[in-house]
Amino acid sequence: MKFRSRLEKLPGPSAVAIGNFDGFHAGHRRIVETLQKTARNEKLLAVILTFHPHPRLYFNHPIQLISTDRQRRETLSRLPLDYLFFINFGIVAALPAHDFVRDILLDTLDMKRLVLGEDFRFGRSREGDLAHLRREAATEHFKIIQSATMEIDGCRVASSLIRKKLAAGAIREANRMLERPYTIDGIVEKGAGRGKKIGFPTINVATDNQILPTGVFHTRIEIGRLQFASLTNIGFAPTFKAAAEVPLKIETHIPGFQRMVYGKKIRLHFIDKIREERKFNSSQGLAEQIRQDIALLGI
């Protein structure tokens, strides 16, 4: 698969899927499967066109994304595609819908098939929709293929719904739609050392990921090539300080782990939410609760 950060003419006709692919959930996977099948059957190049930053961020509209750009690129780069175009959204943000189809999809990518999910919009001010594409297809002789809707737990799988579930701490529900555990990446930073003092040292994580639900979670942490079962608290350490006095912290405890890993890159996978963060009357009360949490998980 060839990765490109800029648009370039392709060496042959293509089947194209366009999207933000935030979180790369079950619905996205179905779109890519449809793309791959179409390209294989019709002897076309399989191409994904995606953008950074997310259009909502580009236009300064509030949004908390499931994945960082780095995570999204990593996930898409592992797919069995011919080309992945991961381009700056500013290049196409002001293009009218007709020009986007003519100049980008047809002239540059030599598109013959366009694979879409639901609610696809494109072009300046999101003026382009499915009806617009059908009019273009009738004169420009490309075909539109709509990927089937994906439903899980009776709900249509969508990045917007997954964001809400993650923010609310509904980890299991979100993971079913993602078809894998929600993941954040980060760097281990030095903490206050309070966990070590009560017998449960923690790895403190600084991350660029935006969705950080508060509470205590069953997690799995990757450090280098190793993985460990772990317990993670995201919150404000209310047992030690008032919430207003400290920033949000991510603290992960690995039973039996004693290595120094400051500055190391880690990846944290969220399995389930155990409970809400609580303020205890003493550090001993907190330590006893952590023992109970670890026993509950069997780690």
What tens digit of pLDDT does each residue of 209-246 get? 999 999 999 999 999 999 999 999 999 988 887 555 67
pLDDT at 232: 98
198 CB burial (10 A radius; 0-12, 13-18, 19+): middle
Pair 209, 163: CB distance under 8 Å: no
Pair 261, 184: CB distance under 8 Å: no
pLDDT at 280: 93
pLDDT at 193: 86
Buried-state track 51-86, b at ≥16 Cβ within 10 A, e below 16: bbebbeeeeeeeeebbbbbebbbebbeebebbbbbb
Runs of H (alpha helix) within the chain: 26-42, 55-58, 69-77, 97-99, 130-140, 159-167, 171-178, 194-197, 283-297
8 HSE (CA, 13 A, CB side): 11
CATH of the domain at 277: 2.40.30.30
Please report which helix (H) or strand (E) contains residue 49, including its range. strand 45-52
**Residue at 75 is within a domain:** yes
pLDDT at 244: 54
pLDDT at 242: 56
Rounded to 10 deg, the angle between the 159-167 and 171-178 helix axes is: 150
* Residues 254 and 147 grouped into a single domain: no
pLDDT at 112: 98
CATH of the domain at 76: 3.40.50.620
**Residue at 130 is within a domain:** yes
Residue where a domain stops, chosen among 140, 155, 170:
155
Q: What's the pTM value of the predicted model, to 2 decimals?
A: 0.94
Pair 115, 143: CB distance under 8 Å: no
**Residue at 161 is within a domain:** no
pLDDT at 240: 82
* Residues 126 and 201 grouped into a single domain: no
Please report which helix (H) or strand (E) contains residue 202, including its range. none
**Residue at 164 is within a domain:** no
* Residues 10 and 107 grouped into a single domain: yes
**Residue at 231 is within a domain:** yes
* Residues 141 and 200 grouped into a single domain: no
**Residue at 19 is within a domain:** yes
**Residue at 166 is within a domain:** no
* Residues 148 and 13 grouped into a single domain: yes
Question: Alpha-carbon distance 298 to 296, whole Å?
Answer: 6
pLDDT at 142: 96
* Residues 124 and 188 grouped into a single domain: no
Name residues of the chain where pLDDT drops below 50.
none
* Residues 56 and 146 grouped into a single domain: yes
* Residues 32 and 123 grouped into a single domain: yes
Q: How many domains does the chain have?
A: 2
Question: Alpha-carbon distance 6 to 51, whole Å?
Answer: 10
* Residues 58 and 201 grouped into a single domain: no
* Residues 45 and 144 grouped into a single domain: yes
pLDDT at 238: 87
pLDDT at 243: 52
**Residue at 92 is within a domain:** yes
What tens digit of pLDDT does each residue of 37-46 get? 999 999 999 9
* Residues 111 and 191 grouped into a single domain: no
* Residues 144 and 186 grouped into a single domain: no
Q: Give the range of the structural domain holding residue 81, as residue numbers without chain letter.
A: 2-155
Query: How many secondary structure helices (H) and strands (E) does the chain include?
Result: 9, 14
DSSP-derived pairing of the beta strands 151-152 and 143-146: unpaired
